[in-house]
Amino acid sequence: MIQRTTHAPYPPGDGAPRRWRRLASAAVVATVTAAGLVAGTAAGASAQPQGHGGGGHGSHQGTKPVDLDVLFVGAHPDDESGRLSTFGEWGEKYDAKVGVVTITRGEGGGNAVGPEEGPALGLIREREERSAVGTAGVDHVFNLDKVDFYYSVSAPLHQQAWDVDDTLERLVRVVRETTPDVIVTMTPAPTPGNHGGHQEAARLAAEAYAVAGDPAEFRSQITSEGLRPFAPAKLFLNSARGSGPVGPTCPTGFTPTDPTDDVYGVWAGERSSESGKTWALIEREAQRKYASQGWAGFPDPSTDPNQIGCDYFTQVASRVPFTRGDRASATTSSATMLEGAILSRKGGLPLGTGLELTGDTTDVVPGQSVTLQARLTAPRNRALAGATGTVALPDGWDGTARVRFGTVPAGRTVTRDVTVTAPDDAASGARALVGLDVTAGGRDGYTNQKLRVLPDVSGTQQLLPQVAEFEEWAPEVGLPQLRGLVAPVLTLPSGGSRTVGVDVTNHSGATQSGTVTVDLPDGFAAAEDTVAYEGLAPGATQRVDFAVTNTDDSLPTSNEGGVGGDYAYTITTTSASGSSTATAALELVPTTQVGETAAPTLDGTVAEGEYASTIDLSRRWEGDACTSPADCSATGYVTRSGDDLYVAAVVTDDVKSAVLAASDCKRHWRVDSVEVAIDPAGTSENTSTTFKIGALPFTAEGQSCAARDADHTQGPIGAFPMTGEGGSDETTLDPGNVAPGFAMASSVSTPYTGYVVEMKIPLSALPATVDPDRMGFNMFVYDSDTQDKAGQTRIGWSTWGGVQGDPYRWGRVELGGGAPPAVESTPPKLDFPALDSLESPKSIEQAVRSGVGLSGLPTLAPKRTARVVRATASGGTAVVTVDVRTPGTAHLFAVTGDEQEVGSTEVALRRGRQQVRIPVSATPSSVLLGFDPDGATGTASSSVQVR
């Protein structure tokens, strides 16, 4: 069983979320219907084919749920925005109905259009998303109402905040209600900088793909709600690894990093037949709807078709025949991805055919064999006559050449074994693709399986905890091919040492002994280059440790070191059968020693000798390059005085950003600002156990201000003195101060050439006791040269993309002075407010229109709970009649014809027909009701025209 990280605790004795036990025990077998829908059943259970939308929904629902073809699953509004050109083209060309699931409303993001945050910002972002996707012809956005919080690259933290089992249940319900044949999602791997919410949304999409067709999963949806199991046909990621050209040849000119990847490109230079605009331009017009995210000013794409690129997708699972993106038959048509699922291919097996090549294991050792299962399912309404399959093996491989399925009766599945043997000299660590071409009745189809070649014994640098968790998750959900997307890296301080573990795994059938040797790059040394292991049982893993030191502290650190920040090296592992090699990398983080001084004066200036240590803050880690030191550069200062840490940043900047009000002192990255990040013990896996503070050097009130963000305890701290033009020396602490004893001051030059920020941070205000030998520390400077609350450049001390969310990549401080004060550790704050769909008139309107309930919860019949039956308006009041069968809370909205809200109320209603008065600011055209019945899970939605 997979053990989760310590940052995502679960009830004692439970060990792991219920979903892990579910995925480990349920192997889903596809059953395909005549219309192309795939209904899954657990292995060993009898197949129960379902028609596409054919009564798969409970009769209790007032409106038959919308039948979708494609469903995108993302974490936040705008996650779908980079693929709207494809979704729009599919809708126009092939009448494909596309929907979007957004797990949160992005309440934790920035706001470039006003001071709103939390649920109020969520309402803005939902409206932006519905407008944006509507530009591309997408009419359905399903919100799951989970909380969005600060930027974090931790999927486990999102699992904890989202109550992951509940979120999966909601997503599976939406899949079963809307029956999408194709699911598109984001990248689930913890690649550097990948938002943890994006990772977790993708994992949930993959898990829903795996279990939505299994009647044993979330069984009450079937027994109580009247839904049916439904397994989508294909699963895609909205990304691809590799490179390709721009212009019309981009769909077929892409070169994947891994040749076994099934990558598809859809050229955005095609023109819409309805608007005459390129789909790239339509997508850009949609993206501009996200004004709260600073996107309103995005420029037009090129008008030269040869400069317009592709949307790329990677297929990671398919239950139906498909065409590879690199096959000659794969043209520039955007239909290729949809073929076999919702579109027929000329000469292809009939729509509704299921075809898979799977195996209990997809790992193979050189010279050894693996057995795969080839499954062919006939459409519900027709047999597949005389079906045969030809196996395409990699060069030098042996195995089954042909399989005979015979005649497969309508709606039935025939399974045949395919044995594959790797050659003795198969390259370890390589991926090998086994293809299967099937013909029946003069038609053909294709599927494949990716195998991973492993040596008898492998040695791999220890993985970061989140990467290790992902590597175990991927095969559990049936996607073993996703393993290895994240290169193994570890950090160590410049000029310092650490223990580097190498995990030795025996993939053979015999006990093994041997050695592990590390060939470190120049400037690094191990106490011993070679370490022995012995008595390693088949299937077992043993860790051997190396004491590694950075012997050359002049080597560049951060993203300036090595290649992209990585100092690569080779690990060689020997065994009785030979040796294998693996690559890994070390990353250097900057270090500094901070001694004690007298307490600096917080006056917005840095005097000679005030600070013990100086650090360079001019390295760029994200955004546009600084055009010159005058454009953006900075120096940081750090010292200790007693139990307080003092920090300062002297920033050179030639353009002053937008000026926020002190009341809007949050989301500091929107404007010119400084961020300080401290990991007290130097061991944090994510920022929920750290201290991070963002400071604005100037505000509209002539003060500086600070707030904690994306850390253990977020919230405003207060306003502080600022010298310079319009400055004020007032100090206003927030009543709910989240950093007791914190103080700061700033100075801003006149004329503007930059600013200085000084801070006092009590060590007792940190979330844990400081380890003076390894305290994690970082400083970042955000530079904005516009007035639209959108940053351009990010510079700092220890720098990589997404580094603000990766404490392991922060710099290291050796803190002088006496023992730091003891701090009692407490759980991090994750109880952020999220918008409820009952508070969103647009969500209620969609529930009425689509027949799919709010929040991913059960859809209750209005006739059995409550419904609006009449509405009139006169003299600034709308009078609404509600027929109530079950007591509960009514959320009523009066809206105009263009869906603008002009009045609302929330009221508890008893049984019977009742009248509710809604004050309105204009004459409404309709009234919407979202009803939350007492003592029941789920909601009912209805609407009525105003007479």
SS3 585: strand
DSSP 76: S
Tokens of 668: 């500091």
User: At 33, is the pLDDT very low, low, confident or very high (cuts 50, 70, 90)?
Assistant: very low
User: At 55, is the pLDDT very low, low, confident or very high (cuts 50, 70, 90)?
Assistant: very low
User: At 115, is the pLDDT very low, low, confident or very high (cuts 50, 70, 90)?
Assistant: confident
User: At 37, is the pLDDT very low, low, confident or very high (cuts 50, 70, 90)?
Assistant: very low
Radius of gyration of the chain from its Cα atoms, rounded to whole angstroms: 30
Distance of CA 107 to the CA centre of its chain: 15
Q: What is the mean pLDDT of the chain?
A: 92
The sign of the dihedral angle between the CA atoms of 533, 537, 539, 543 is negative
Q: Which residue has the higher pLDDT, 729 or 393?
A: 393
Name residues whose C-beta falls within 8 Å of residue 107's C-beta, 6 or more positions apart in sequence. 117, 118, 119, 121, 122, 125, 147, 148, 832, 833, 834, 835
d(CA 100, CA 129): 10
- N-to-C CA span, the chain: 60
Whether the CB-CB separation of 512 and 576 falls below 8 Å is answered with yes
Question: With pLDDT > 90 as the criterion, what percentage of the chain qualifies?
Answer: 87
Does residue 236 carry a pLDDT above 50?
A: yes
User: At 332, is the pLDDT very low, low, confident or very high (cuts 50, 70, 90)?
Assistant: low
Quote the longest CA-to-CA distance of the chain: 91
Tokens of 907: 């009221």
Q: Stretch 209-215: mean pLDDT, rounded? A: 97
Does residue 130 carry a pLDDT above 70?
A: yes
Does residue 68 carry a pLDDT above 80?
A: yes
pLDDT in tens, 303-317: 999 999 999 999 999
The β-bridge relationship of strands 398-399 and 413-421 is antiparallel
Does residue 7 carry a pLDDT above 80?
A: no
Whether the CB-CB separation of 301 and 278 falls below 8 Å is answered with yes
User: At 665, is the pLDDT very low, low, confident or very high (cuts 50, 70, 90)?
Assistant: very high
Q: Stretch 133-137: mean pLDDT, rounded? A: 97
Lookup result for tokens 């793909």? 209
Tokens of 738: 């989240």
What dihedral do alpha carbons 73, 77, 80, 82 form, nearest 10°? -150
Q: Stretch 937-945: mean pLDDT, rounded? A: 97
Q: Stretch 429-446: mean pLDDT, rounded? A: 96
Q: Which residue has the higher pLDDT, 13 or 863?
A: 863
Does residue 52 carry a pLDDT above 80?
A: no
CA neighbours closer than 13 Å in the CB half-sphere of residue 530: 6
What dihedral do alpha carbons 677, 680, 683, 687 form, nearest 10°? -40
CA angle 594, 600, 604 (to 5 degrees): 115
pLDDT in tens, 851-907: 999 999 999 999 999 999 999 999 999 999 999 999 999 999 999 988 899 999 999
565: left (phi over 0), alpha (psi -120 to 50) or beta: left
d(CA 156, CA 187): 15
User: At 16, is the pLDDT very low, low, confident or very high (cuts 50, 70, 90)?
Assistant: very low
User: What is the model's pLDDT at position 3?
Assistant: 26
The sign of the dihedral angle between the CA atoms of 331, 334, 335, 338 is positive
d(CA 685, CA 468): 12
Name the residue among 433, 448, 555, 429 with its Cα closest to residue 494.
555
Tokens of 70: 């494609």
User: What is the model's pLDDT at position 62?
Assistant: 58
User: What is the model's pLDDT at position 483?
Assistant: 93
Angle between helices 119-135 and 279-287 in degrees, nearest 10: 160
Question: Which of 369-378, 398-407, 719-728 is least confident?
Answer: 719-728
Does residue 30 carry a pLDDT above 50?
A: no
User: What is the model's pLDDT at position 634?
Assistant: 98
Does residue 545 carry a pLDDT above 60?
A: yes
